[in-house]
Structure 1
Amino acid sequence: MKIQSLKLVCFSPTGTSKTIIQSIARGISHSTVELIDITKPDARNQQLQTSENELLLVAVPVYVGRVPALVIDWLQSVKACNTPTVCIVVYGNREYDDALLELKDILIKRGCIPIACAACIGEHSFSSFETPIAVNRPDASDLHQAELLGSKINEKLLSISSVDDISDINVPGNYPYRGDSKTWTVDFIAISNTCSKCGVCVEACPVGAIDLENNYLPDKEKCILCCACIKCCPQNAKTMKTGIVKDTAIRLSEKCKQRKEPVFFI
């Protein structure tokens, strides 16, 4: 089957999903690649249309075992037409629960035909020096495996004549999906006096939640707990307050020490 181009869609506040999807694309090794990064609010105002002559790759982070709610909202506007698709979820070394099945189901309803699926590991958004969780992942091994997946996807495409030859891919998960795709509404970030008000966190926030008139604190009603503002701060001025989020980070740091490896379905 001949593919005219690759379209890479990612939601990646801290860069892990983007890094993984680009590594998979390198393994596929196509000359025409378009990256559609929907992390920023303005990017999510654009609707995506694809055809059966394109290969669509979609990578999203796992939030409490689900696809993030704002990503679901955008994905439900996708218009595909029998588009071969790679479904990728990235999680912080705990579990991906129902997220991969949910992503697959959403994309099928939009006209996509999954040709491969993957659950990969990225550094947890709650990870810090104090509470390390899958630090520096994806690492070199993860990215090598992602490229190998890309090569296998390319081999699969070459082995079939059309999307009609793509059989269903079974992935783990439960339906109805467990939990809630929406994150907690909680005030959990402290800002020290080392904050220089440089605005880096404002640019990094995927939901425009940083309040410039309130000492660069996030609006808890908008905040999705991605911690991009903490991780990107050049002054290390933002930290987690004592409370439910930090307690969760401590618990995950203790319970998720054993390294998990990417899982591929093809």
Structure 2
Amino acid sequence: MSTPPTLSARLALRERPEGIPLLRQQWSELLFLHWPVPAALLQPHLPPRLQVDTHDGMAWLAVVPFQMSKVRTRVTPEVPGTNAFLELNVRTYVHLDGVPGVWFFSLDATSALAVWTARTFFHLPYLRATMRMDTPSPNLRQFMAERTHGGAPPATFRATWKIGAPLPPSEPGSLAFFLTERYCLYASNKAQTKLYRGRVAHTPWPLSTAQLLHYESNLVEGHGLATPTVPPLVHTGGAVSVELWPMQQV
């Protein structure tokens, strides 16, 4: 069984890795929707070597819509038409050999090129979808998504939220730190016989409170997971510049 991460191991991942990143991009307009879930319910949905990461004994399931922009590789500039798109992911938190990270059940995106690139080079379960984000007022956001990827389970998402007051930086060891300070991605091949880990670097999230005004979705249920029965913990995240390194087999 994988050794649970120590707080020092979580903090160490804030340090930028050596070498040149494969991709650079900006993430912004995030909505973090988190539900507490017993770890025993999530563990069967993970590859054999990965363990669910917990905070005070509880695992967490998340749905996160956001805007991706300024996308470019380490050797190419931004290409208009491919450098900005919307994304929506369903995820939980895991660890392997004491290294914490994110496990994605699915990632829907509006860019066909991004879907192909992520599936081919990062082994991530990206799917094509149509999406739209509206800003009726400075602090109000509306996000709509419908999956269009051939052969994938149908899925829809609708949410409206109001951005609240900025929060202070997340304290190490706090729940907000556990949920948002994540600097590794995990992925596997389709047979789940190989595991990959990739590093991510960015400044800690500038979080704000938020009020969820409307939510309807079947994204979670599409993965064979139970419908959350409690209201989610809600945060929003401001813009961060992100660097991603190539996935390595572990």
TM-score greater than 0.5 by the shorter chain: no
More strand by share: 2
Larger Cα-atom Rg = 1
TM-score (norm 1): 0.23
More helix by share: 1
TM-score (norm 2): 0.23
